[in-house]
Amino acid sequence: MGGMDALYTPQEMGLIDTAALSCGVSGLMLMENAGTAVARAIVRRFRPCRVLVLAGPGNNGGDGYVAARRLAERGWPVAVAPLAPPRPASDA
């Protein structure tokens, strides 16, 4: 596993999430942190422009909602297209 800009496989990310949850970090906090990091990366790389977030039904979709909210807070025009209703077991 790498540093701050490392990319992880789905299996590695699952282990990281499990470890964080077992240490008392809530799923909502993981989602908030992930979505905030995505928005921060977008802001660093692009000038403000229209953004469409495609949000799936699971926790990754929840990350997308957080990213959309964070971008909108910075004045970016954002739309979210939910691809399915949130899964009952997700924090989204």
Q: What pLDDT, in 10s, does the model give residues 21-45?
A: 999 999 999 999 999 999 999 999 9
Asked if the model's pLDDT at residue 3 lies above 70, the reply is no
Q: What is the mean pLDDT of the chain?
A: 92
Percent pLDDT > 70 in the chain is 95
pLDDT at residue 5 in the model: 67
Q: How confident is the model at residue 63 (pLDDT cuts 50, 70, 90)?
A: very high
Whole-number Å distance between alpha carbons of 65 and 57: 11
Spatial CA neighbour of 37 closest among 2, 79, 67: 67
Residues in contact with 55: Cβ distance below 8 Å, sequence separation at least 6, in sequence order: 61, 62, 64, 65, 68, 80, 81, 82, 83, 92
pTM of the model: 0.86
